[in-house]
């Protein structure tokens, strides 16, 4: 029993603050702490319950920053939460003397910047992922002013690539039965062929020969990440207006021989560079083949007529 007793004591000590107003006592000090100091406190924290409250606090404080304060915040994080250079130097020198596989892998672990662990901890609080996606959206702006912040962005990119791993994404067909709260985001995010309102949206999601599919992530449940619009047609259309026209003839989808992917829109600027496009198209093609198994010739006519990417840099790697 003695081993478990230790674990219990350990566990209890770590959750002992539950139910108390966790950071209440230190509130007076807390207010005086700069955002950067709070981040420092979060990283030195052992109690996870306290950590959660701290994460929440940092994300809330961040939301209130203006543009100038944001830039200062990112610069402080970059300056103060880098690699432990002394430890790295020591490990590197050892490895140069005695190069070996275990040691080289150790360099990777040792050289992880503290900012990465910081982002990881911020993600733990409720709503953390969404707040971090927004935070990176800001960061991408500030990189234009201070190029050195691109190194900090690597941390976001690395973690977002793990978190928004295609294995975790959920493909959903957006139809006229989709909640209005999501439909209005589709109207807002469509960036190639603008959707003028609900009537036009209806043409794109409710017509028998039109499809709209989006990727969702469990942590951003009501927020589409990317969506693609598909027209099922008889022939390859000559121009986009024949696809978008409101008074065209609807085609029985079982008679379609071509699937035109006429628009792709990324929805989250903060996820720029995290690639979803190929997977989305691949999964939609599989979905269409499952739905329309009789359309034999169809699969030879998957066509990307027009693709488009939100933001200045295309991110379909």
- Say whether residue 28 binds its own copies (CB under 8 A): no
Interacting positions 47-66 with its own copies (CB under 8 A): 48-49, 52
Structure tokens at 142: 């500030």
Question: Closest approach of Cβ 32 to its own copies, in Å?
Answer: 27
Contacting residue, 124, 191, 251, 255, with its own copies by CB under 8 A? 124
Question: Closest approach of Cβ 306 to its own copies, in Å?
Answer: 7
Residue with tokens 């609080």: 125
Structure tokens at 301: 């006519």
Question: What value, to the nearest 5°, has the Cα angle with vertex 108 and ends 103 and 111?
Answer: 115
- Say whether residue 208 binds its own copies (CB under 8 A): no
Sheet holding 302-304, edge to edge: 170-173, 210-216, 226-233, 258-266, 302-304
33 or 47, CB closer to its own copies? 47
Structure tokens at 175: 């139809």
Residue 53 · residue 27 · CB < 8 Å: no
68 or 313, CB closer to its own copies? 313
For residue 279, which of 153, 161, 179 has the smallest C-alpha distance? 161
Distances (CA, A) of 298 to 7, 148, 283, 286: 60, 49, 15, 12
Question: Closest approach of Cβ 128 to its own copies, in Å?
Answer: 5
Structure tokens at 105: 């892998």
Contacting residue, 109, 196, 238, 249, with its own copies by CB under 8 A? 109
From the list 56-64, 159-167, 231-239, 241-249, the region that binds its own copies by CB under 8 A is 159-167
- Say whether residue 112 binds its own copies (CB under 8 A): yes
- Say whether residue 25 binds its own copies (CB under 8 A): no
Contacting residue, 89, 208, 241, 293, with its own copies by CB under 8 A? 89
- Say whether residue 18 binds its own copies (CB under 8 A): yes
Interacting positions 274-303 with its own copies (CB under 8 A): 277-279, 281-282, 285, 289, 299-300, 302
From the list 69-77, 88-96, 229-237, 241-249, the region that binds its own copies by CB under 8 A is 88-96
Alpha helices in 64-127 (DSSP H): 67-80, 85-97, 101-110, 114-122
Distances (CA, A) of 311 to 142, 157, 315: 15, 16, 9
- Say whether residue 248 binds its own copies (CB under 8 A): no
């Amino acid at each position: 029993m003695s081993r478990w007793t230790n674990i219990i004591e350990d566990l209890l000590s770590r959750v002992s603050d539950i139910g108390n107003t966790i950071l209440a006592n230190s509130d007076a000090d807390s207010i005086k702490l700069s955002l950067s100091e709070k981040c420092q406190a979060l990283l030195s924290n052992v109690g996870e319950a306290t950590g959660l409250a701290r994460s929440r606090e940092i994300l809330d404080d961040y939301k209130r920053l203006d543009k100038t304060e944001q830039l200062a915040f990112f610069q402080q994080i970059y300056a103060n939460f880098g690699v432990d250079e002394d430890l790295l130097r020591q490990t590197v020198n050892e490895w140069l003397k005695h190069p070996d596989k275990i040691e080289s892998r150790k360099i990777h672990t040792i050289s992880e910047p503290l900012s990465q662990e910081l982002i990881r901890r911020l993600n733990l609080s409720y709503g953390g992922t969404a707040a971090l996606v927004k935070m990176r959206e800001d960061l991408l702006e500030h990189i234009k002013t201070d190029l050195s912040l691109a190194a900090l962005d690597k941390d976001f990119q690395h973690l977002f690539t793990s978190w928004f791993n295609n294995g975790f994404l959920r493909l959903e067909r957006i139809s006229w039965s989709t909640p209005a709260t999501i439909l209005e985001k589709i109207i807002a995010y469509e960036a190639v062929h603008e959707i003028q309102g609900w009537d036009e949206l209806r043409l794109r999601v409710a017509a028998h020969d039109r499809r709209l599919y989006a990727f969702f992530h469990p942590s951003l449940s009501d927020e589409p990440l990317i969506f693609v619009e598909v027209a099922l047609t008889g022939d390859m259309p000559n121009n986009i207006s024949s696809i978008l026209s409101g008074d065209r003839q609807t085609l029985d989808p079982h008679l379609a021989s071509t699937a035109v992917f006429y628009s792709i829109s990324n929805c989250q600027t903060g996820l720029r560079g995290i690639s979803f496009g190929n997977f989305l198209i691949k999964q939609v093609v599989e979905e269409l083949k499952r739905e329309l198994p009789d359309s034999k010739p169809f699969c030879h006519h998957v066509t990307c007529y027009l693709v488009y990417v939100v933001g200045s840099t295309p991110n379909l790697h």
